[in-house]
Amino acid sequence: MKQFLDQLAEHYQSAEYIRFDPISIPHGFDDPADQEIIGLFAALLAWGRRDTMLRKLEELCERMNYHPARFVRDFRLGRDESNLEGFKHRTFQPDDASWLCRNLSACLKASGSLEQIVRRGLESVRGVDHIGPAIEHLSSAILGADPDTPARLSKHLARPSTGSACKRLCLYIRWMSRPGPFDLGVWTSVDPSSLVLPLDVHSGRQARRLGLLVRPSDDWRSALELTASCRALDRADPARYDFAFFGLGAFGVPSTISSLAPRALTSAPTMR
């Protein structure tokens, strides 16, 4: 199992797959500050049809004048919110974009970067070996940056305390913290060993087929259960197996390693 998943993860985390993934958007910027900001938007909007999602993210970059960190840090209602009028993707509406920019601006002015907020979240709880406190702190900081923040913004910023698997924020922190070539690795405050796998219905289905996840719900407890299973395979870098689960569901088993596939996957499609 480990040999199979290691090779599967290695195959799907190669640079050639970046162009199919929302991480291609932050990869298009050189400044880590821009990568940090547009990366958050890319992770939060990473659902639905990939071609549509990538077009919407490219549109957002244009609306931010291709300087997302500067646009967000200097964001002013009235002056800048017109840039976001009409922008929407699935349930993410123009008001969500405007309030997220407004609150992120306040967070950046108070803390300097989102990484610093994440770092404080990690330091706030002792004896926890995963990024749950960091996600909780980041979401709470953004949502609490303005007392008038509408409640609907919370649907885009999940927290472990609500039971959510927090898939998008787990994905975001993985992008920022894990070294490349696929991930960005621009943060130094988060040890890759503490990352929690981004769990959704698709990765959960593959993990259960492989016997690495038993709990039936795709919630925070299941995300921790799957992460624990992956730590048993690689304690230093459990999140690398996210590439295996994603690739298995989206593309199947590459023909080069099909001979290693467990019996549970004998019915899975094989890449030609």
Tens place of pLDDT per residue across the chain (272 aa): 999 999 999 999 999 999 989 999 999 999 999 999 999 999 999 998 999 999 999 999 999 999 999 999 999 877 888 999 999 999 999 999 999 999 999 999 999 999 999 999 999 988 899 999 999 999 999 999 999 999 999 999 999 999 999 999 999 999 999 999 999 999 999 999 999 999 999 999 999 999 999 999 999 999 999 999 999 999 999 999 999 999 999 889 999 999 999 877 755 444 43
Q: Tell me, what's the pLDDT at 122? A: 96
**Token pair listed for 111:** 């803390």
Check: CB of residue 136 under 8 Å from CB of residue 121. yes
Q: Tell me, what's the pLDDT at 266? A: 58
Sign of the CA dihedral running 152, 155, 156, 162? positive
Contacts of 240 (CB under 8 A, 6+ apart): 9, 13, 178, 230, 234
Q: Tell me, what's the pLDDT at 76? A: 86
What DSSP string runs through the chain? -HHHHHHHHHHHTSGGGGGGSTTHHHHT-SSHHHHHHHHHHHHHT--S-HHHHHHHHHHHHHHTTT-HHHHHHT--TTTTGGGGTT--BTTB-HHHHHHHHHHHHHHHHHHSSHHHHHHHHHHHSSS--SSHHHHHHHHHHHHTSSTT--GGGGGGS--GGGTB--HHHHHHHHHHHS-TTTS----SSS-GGG------HHHHHHHHHTTS---SS-BHHHHHHHHHHHHHH-SS-GGGHHHHHHHHHHT-EEGGGGGG--GGGTTS-EE-
- Of 247, 251, 255, 258, which is closest to residue 272 (Cα–Cα)? 255
Q: Tell me, what's the pLDDT at 269? A: 45
Check: CB of residue 236 under 8 Å from CB of residue 256. no
Q: Is the peptide bond before 181 cis (omega within 30 degrees of 0)?
A: yes
- Of 75, 79, 76, 77, which is closest to residue 67 (Cα–Cα)? 75
